Structure 1
Amino acid sequence: MPTDDTVTETSAFHRARQRSIPLLPGLGACAIAVLISLGVHSLVPSLPAMTIAVVLGILVANLPGISLLTRGVLSPGLGFAGKKLMRAGIVMLGLKLSIVDILGLGWAAFGIVVAIVLLAFAGTYLVGKLFKLPGDAPLLIAAGFSICGASAIGAMAGARRVRPTDTVMPVALVTLCGTLAIAVLPLLMEPLSLNNIQFGQWVGASVHDVGQVVATAQVAGPAALAAALVIKLTRVMLLAPIVFFAAMGTRRSAKNSQHDNGEAEKPAPLPPLIPLFIIGFALMIGIRSLGILSPEMLEAGAILQDVFLGAALFGLGAAVSIRELLSSGMRGIMVALLSWILIGTLGYAGVQLMSI
């Protein structure tokens, strides 16, 4: 006869299985979207795979008939991807960063990049507040535009305990402006009298997602692309400290809320001081910096990152209603465009300072 422990383990297995089954249709759709995105990117390298994934999600969410599936049977898996797989992708993003490469910039250039990020973050946040965007939208947009696009939005949302549905508009906006940058910035290279290296630095300092940086900078050659990536990855490294301070703010607010409610109610658990996925992100940076990973392992990590982030962005894109975005998101669009201009201007000024 089965023991009590055996029955308990079997019951736990069945409960876990029942919970996972509703996720499968949505995760299957995410897998198909990732394959399509990576396939299109391999055929047209100028189109970043992550941008394609977001666009596919938006299309699926707004096509008659298919949109019913995103709000029905696909919804649990898409929501899981938008939250959990986004965090897994952020962890894997750390493998792209090496402290050695960042130190190669020199302290002056590093300080300039930090100043660009902080000024862009503060400026975008203030503009978002000026336009009275709701909730944490100003904070999410500021993180996305100043640091590393949708990945930073996901990280900030995790630190602030923001619902995945509330990240939909910021992700759509950062994707829109990053896509515009791919088309617009190369046209400005000659009018702004930028050489190849300076153009790469400008792109790295101004464009949001890593894939969008690659797509924009590569038109000016490998030297421009190398310069762009070093600057961009320096911005990405600032994700950890900025999210840490955001998590501290969330924790402080939770403590104040408990204090205001008194001791009649059982206090809710406080959010972690450092979100677990940010610890994973920092650990991956450390592992990459030690130089112990082979090129094949780094390539495998990059593929995993693309899979996780592609699935997450498809899931978030599938929550975007174009009708609702246009009707209620005009203020967000204005904030995004102003932020895009701001960080482009700051990036250009930074390039001029680096050239002195």
Structure 2
Amino acid sequence: MIQEEVLIDSGERTVRTGPVRVVPGLAVTALAIAVAAAVNRLLPAVSALIIALALGVLLANSPWNRPALHPGTRLASRRLLRAGVVLLGLQLSIVDLARLGGPVLVVVVATVGATFAFTWWAGVRMGVGEGQSLLVAAGFAVCGASAVAAMDRVADNDDEDVAAAVALVTIFGTVCIVALPLLREPLGLAAVAYGQWVGVSVHEVAQVVAAAAPAGPAAGTAALVVKLTRVAMLAPLVAGTSLLLRRRRRTHGATARRHEHVVPLFVIGFLAMAALRSAGVVPTEVLNAARLVSMLLLTAALFGLGTGVKFGNLRAAAPISLALGAVSTTFAAVVGLVGILLVT
């Protein structure tokens, strides 16, 4: 017998009945993935994740946003997201971390932790709201849109908060692509040091590649290794935040959300995949396939999240959110630069 589940989302009553109901939404999601991949091929500096989110927002605010699509896009924004984050763990290896050396690793960890804490704190003080501040903190401190989406599964924010945070990642990551290469010579940074600074300061992987490219291959390699080290901190940050929010709910007498785990299961899966990669038991072909599948799943998830966003709900918070993005980007760049200069 097919079970029926009633979902209440943004004041709209949506009915989902069985697996067949997700087909229209997943079909549109697949089309969005194809479009995002094609645009990314033409404009490599623009992440497919960002393009997919934009497509989702456009659909949400168009006449073609039919209720029949919602079960599939909701599935993409939840289950496919978690699967994509789990597979993301296969990109990480202890060998990559060892290449950095102790001092640089300390700089990366300190910069990520400080940026995350400062952005969360500053956003609340500026009136952005704790939920969106937490998402911006994750996106700017760790790995852009993927971190925003992963943290959303813990903080349980509105889709508008997610879209705003990802939009800030796009805006200020693009600013970094232009600004950081211009600052290299005045700061007197060698190629490797510059690459490390880019890796510790810029948000999305594609943005890191674009910002490091003008300094040559050595800078590009250094930037990617540092960036992947930041990605490795996604799991402890999400797990730690989950524990903190869970404890806060108990302190204030709130009931834990249904099916809430102390440490989200997708975080455990992420760590398990990273352990497999570090053990050297996963063939190169499987790693390459997993990288592609992870990107497809995360692209689908960002499209799904975008379909829950209405333009009208984004306008009021735009100026103060932009201010938070500017403050956070500047903080990460300055702290990262000071740290790199101290250890090189």
Fold match by TM threshold 0.5: yes
1:54 paired with 2:53, answer yes
Shift of 1:177: 1.7
1:45 paired with 2:44, answer yes
CA contact (8 A) 1:172 1:317 kept: no
- The 1:219–1:19 alpha-carbon spacing in structure 2 relative to 1, beyond 3 Å, is farther
1:156 paired with 2:151, answer yes
Q: Which amino acid aligns with 1:224?
A: A
- The 1:246–1:34 alpha-carbon spacing in structure 2 relative to 1, beyond 3 Å, is same
1:120 paired with 2:109, answer no
Matched residue SS, 2:308: coil
Shift of 1:100: 1.5
CA contact (8 A) 2:174 2:207 kept: yes
What's the CA shift string for 1:152-195, capped at 9, x where partnerless? 12222222344545422222222222233233322332333323
Q: TM-score, normalised by structure 1?
A: 0.85
Distance 2:59 2:343 in 1: 44
- The 1:315–1:269 alpha-carbon spacing in structure 2 relative to 1, beyond 3 Å, is closer
1:103 paired with 2:98, answer yes
Residue equivalent to 2:32: 33
- The 1:317–1:192 alpha-carbon spacing in structure 2 relative to 1, beyond 3 Å, is farther
Structure 1: unaligned runs, 5 residues or longer? 1-10, 262-266
Shift of 1:61: 3.8
CA contact (8 A) 1:251 1:270 kept: no
Matched residue SS, 2:185: coil
1:306 paired with 2:295, answer yes
Residue equivalent to 1:351: 340
What's the CA shift string for 1:190-249, capped at 9, x where partnerless? 333323212211110011122222232233322111101111111111111111111112
User: What's the Cα RMSD here?
Assistant: 2.5
Distance 2:105 2:80 in 1: 31
Q: TM-score, normalised by structure 2?
A: 0.88
With 162-171 and 86-95 compared, the bigger mean Cα shift is at: 162-171
User: Counterparts of 1:95-244 in structure 2 under 5 Å?
Assistant: 95-244=90-239
CA contact (8 A) 2:173 2:204 kept: yes
CA contact (8 A) 1:47 1:215 kept: no
With 199-208 and 344-353 compared, the bigger mean Cα shift is at: 344-353
What's the CA shift string for 1:285-333, capped at 9, x where partnerless? 0011111222211110011011011111122233344443233332112
Q: Which amino acid aligns with 1:285?
A: A
Q: 1:289 aligns with which of 268, 272, 278?
A: 278
CA contact (8 A) 1:181 1:207 kept: yes
Distance 1:197 1:241 in 2: 27
CA contact (8 A) 2:160 2:314 kept: no
Distance 1:336 1:202 in 2: 18
Shift of 1:46: 2.9
Matched residue SS, 1:306: helix
Q: Which has the larger radius of gyration?
A: 1
Matched residue SS, 1:21: helix
Q: Which amino acid aligns with 2:340?
A: V
Pairs aligned (count): 335
Residue equivalent to 2:11: none
Q: Percent identity?
A: 41
Q: Which amino acid aligns with 1:280?
A: G
Matched residue SS, 2:106: helix
